[in-house]
């Protein structure tokens, strides 16, 4: 049987100390880039495979981080995960992914499972059902970094990366008003999740600032899905005072709204439609969907940087940062100026 390559073999090949090899492979900042690159190249040439279990037992670190998201089917969350991985792999970290599928029970199990796997920290976006956040307290109690992104909770005193969702709701509404729409409805979730409440409040503020009426029947609270979008649009278009534009809680809901409007011959931009997240499909459906970009890649990058900052502190919660990104309007066919 061929002898397994060790860090001693790499050190011998480069005529450097074993400790230098170990530090270079673990991303120790004091090691020069030239030495680090030489060690990595030699490790690859010699087919070196680190004994992660031994390393974890010695250091108390597994170099694994847990990420919990509502669903990887959403391009937004997939993009955040990709950026987190890209931001951490250079420091030797791997990611274990757990999907809650919008279930708080699954989320609780996810936190438990990841802690049992001895992850060095958790980055999470909460499910729609999450109201009691006590299951996240164990992460903090174990003195491990916990970072929340997108969907956060004020009770958890941890670092966060979010969008300015009030501004996002305001921006979407103002865009429709600027395009000539006057009676604007909103289809969103009934769950009490901060980002969706903030978007709804932004919508209300924009209507008020433009002296447009807030019609309670034009706010449809339900779920966030293509099915819910179809249902919400159908209900709105049966209203005695039909809206001339609809804001959807996310792009999947907006897709359902568009499908229903096409069925009843009210194809956008005859009725304006705008969503949130800038999902990949939004640029390819007919009509193309106007949306609010949530900067998924930047959000993932900021999460990774926060984690790296936290693990360098004796107390990971010594400084609690809250990073707020500004939304960007993506204008497409669904909100074009009507003839």
Burial of 5 (0-12, 13-18, 19+ CB in 10 A): middle
- Mean pLDDT (the chain, rounded): 92
Q: What is the pLDDT of residue 2?
A: 56
Non-local CB neighbours of 279 within 8 Å, separated by 6+ positions: 74, 75, 76, 250, 251, 252, 291
Helix runs in the chain, H state only: 7-14, 18-25, 33-45, 52-59, 75-89, 104-116, 137-141, 165-178, 194-209, 226-237, 251-263, 296-311
Tens digit of each residue's pLDDT (9 = 90 or more) over 309-337: 999 888 999 999 999 999 999 999 999 98
Q: What is the pLDDT of residue 53?
A: 47
Q: What is the pLDDT of residue 192?
A: 86
Alpha-carbon span 25 to 40, nearest angstrom: 7
Tens digit of each residue's pLDDT (9 = 90 or more) over 150-185: 999 999 999 999 999 999 999 999 999 999 999 999
Non-local CB neighbours of 99 within 8 Å, separated by 6+ positions: 68, 69, 70, 71, 72, 106, 110
Task: With cut-offs at 50, 70 and 90, classify the pLDDT of residue 339.
Answer: low
Tens digit of each residue's pLDDT (9 = 90 or more) over 63-115: 899 999 999 989 999 999 999 999 998 888 999 999 999 999 999 999 999 99
User: Which DSSP helix (H) or strand (E) runs through 220?
Assistant: strand 219-222
Average pLDDT rounded to a whole number, residues 48-57: 60
Tens digit of each residue's pLDDT (9 = 90 or more) over 9-19: 888 999 998 88
pTM value? 0.82
Closest CA to 148 of 327, 326, 324, 328: 324
Pairing label, strands 245-248, 290-293: unpaired
Question: Residues 224, 250: contact at Cβ < 8 Å?
Answer: yes
Task: With cut-offs at 50, 70 and 90, classify the pLDDT of residue 25.
Answer: confident
Alpha-carbon span 36 to 41, nearest angstrom: 9
| Cis amide bond preceding 287, omega within 30 | yes
Tens digit of each residue's pLDDT (9 = 90 or more) over 205-245: 999 999 999 999 999 999 999 999 999 999 999 998 999 99
CA angle 135-161-321, nearest 5°?
90
Task: With cut-offs at 50, 70 and 90, classify the pLDDT of residue 57.
Answer: very low
Question: Residues 98, 67: contact at Cβ < 8 Å?
Answer: yes
Please report, rounded to a whole number, the percentage of residues in the chain having pLDDT higher than 70. 94
């Amino acid at each position: 049987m061929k002898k397994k390559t060790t860090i001693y073999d790499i050190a011998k090949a480069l005529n450097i100390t074993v400790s230098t090899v170990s530090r270079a492979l673990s991303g120790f900042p004091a090691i020069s880039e030239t030495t680090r690159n030489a060690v990595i190249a030699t490790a690859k040439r010699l087919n070196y495979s680190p004994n992660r279990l031994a390393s974890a037992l010695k250091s108390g670190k597994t170099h694994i981080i847990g990420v919990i998201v509502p669903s990887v089917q959403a391009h937004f969350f997939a993009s955040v995960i990709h950026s987190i991985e890209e931001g951490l792999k250079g420091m030797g970290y791997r990611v274990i992914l757990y999907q809650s599928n919008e279930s708080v029970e699954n989320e609780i199990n996810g936190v438990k499972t990841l802690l049992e796997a001895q992850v060095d920290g958790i980055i999470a976006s909460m499910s729609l059902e999450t109201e009691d956040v006590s299951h996240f307290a164990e992460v903090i109690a174990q003195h491990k970094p916990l970072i929340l992104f997108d969907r956060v909770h004020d009770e958890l005193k941890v670092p966060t990366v979010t969008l300015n969702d009030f501004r996002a709701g305001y921006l979407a509404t103002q865009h429709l008003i600027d395009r000539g729409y006057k009676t604007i409805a909103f289809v969103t979730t009934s769950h009490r999740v901060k980002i969706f409440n903030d978007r709804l409040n932004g919508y209300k503020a924009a209507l008020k600032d433009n002296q447009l009426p807030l019609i309670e029947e034009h706010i449809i609270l339900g779920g966030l899905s293509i099915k819910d979008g179809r249902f919400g649009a159908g209900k709105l278009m049966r209203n005695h005072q039909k809206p001339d534009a609809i804001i959807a809680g996310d792009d999947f809901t907006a897709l359902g709204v568009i499908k229903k409007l096409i069925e009843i011959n009210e194809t956008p931009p005859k009725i304006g439609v705008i969503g949130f997240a800038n999902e990949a499909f939004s640029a390819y459906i007919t009509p193309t969907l106007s949306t609010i970009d949530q900067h998924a890649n930047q959000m993932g990058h900021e999460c990774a940087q926060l984690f790296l900052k936290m693990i360098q502190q004796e107390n990971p919660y010594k400084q609690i940062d809250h990073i707020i990104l500004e939304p960007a309007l993506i204008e497409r066919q669904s909100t074009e100026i009507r003839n």
